[in-house]
Structure 1
């Protein structure tokens, strides 16, 4: 159980590193875009797949977010990561930011999808 807790803490720390890295000018544009998407999704109060859906609801938290963090860290230069790790340690002590814009986008996607399903069902 301690191993799992340590893994979760490391993921959280790396997410904060990415939060600072996507704002850094030394990061290539494609890495910034990908990293911003990963950070926005992870900090979003709304999941793409809601947690109340059995099994699938937690798959995004267990697979997509860690995979996104891993890939984003591979795209960022090491000196940037080192600088951002220092900033991340300070941020962890103060609390994580929320990305309400990303949450609104995900909510909008869900509303569109449910509306489309509703219209489709009414036509049947």
Structure 2
């Protein structure tokens, strides 16, 4: 077999990100994880597992930046903050899980961020002097 096609490699990357995000979610909930790592793991996992993106995917280029840069960078930072043995345990549990969780907290954070942005735009238009 010559190698994997681009679409197969992208699918593999997506599956690896999902497992890593699940491992970060497990790390955020475990009391053995240092508290700075827990906070970052919670934020990264909530955003990665949220069904809603901060920048919608239908926006060209910008919509994929979070999926291709922000989430992997956050996961790399989380991995560096957690002891290797503990991360291996979380990763093994996440890899063995058949169903990945969805993050209601992450969805709520993204919805609140969008609501705040829309309110700021509304307020700016409302109080702007008419030319």
Q: Which runs of 4+ in 1 moved over 6 A?
A: none
Question: Which residue does 2:119 correspond to in 1?
Answer: 115
Q: Give the total of aligned pairs.
A: 122
Structure 1 segments unaligned to the other structure (5+ residues): none
CA distance in structure 1 between the aligned counterparts of 2:44 and 2:31, rounded to whole angstroms:
18
- Secondary structure of the 2:29 match is coil
Bigger Rg, structure 1 or 2? 2
Tell me how far 1:65 sits from its aligned partner.
0.4
TM-score by length of 2: 0.84
Shift of 1:85: 2.2
Contact 1:15 1:39 in 2 (8 A): yes
TM-score with structure 1 length normalisation? 0.88
Farther off after superposition, 110-119 or 6-15: 6-15
Could you say what the CA RMSD is over the residues aligned between the two structures, in angstroms? 1.5
Report if the CA contact (8 A) 1:22-1:36 is conserved: yes
- Asked if 1:96 is matched to 2:96, the reply is no
Counting helix residues as a fraction of each chain, which structure ranks higher? 1
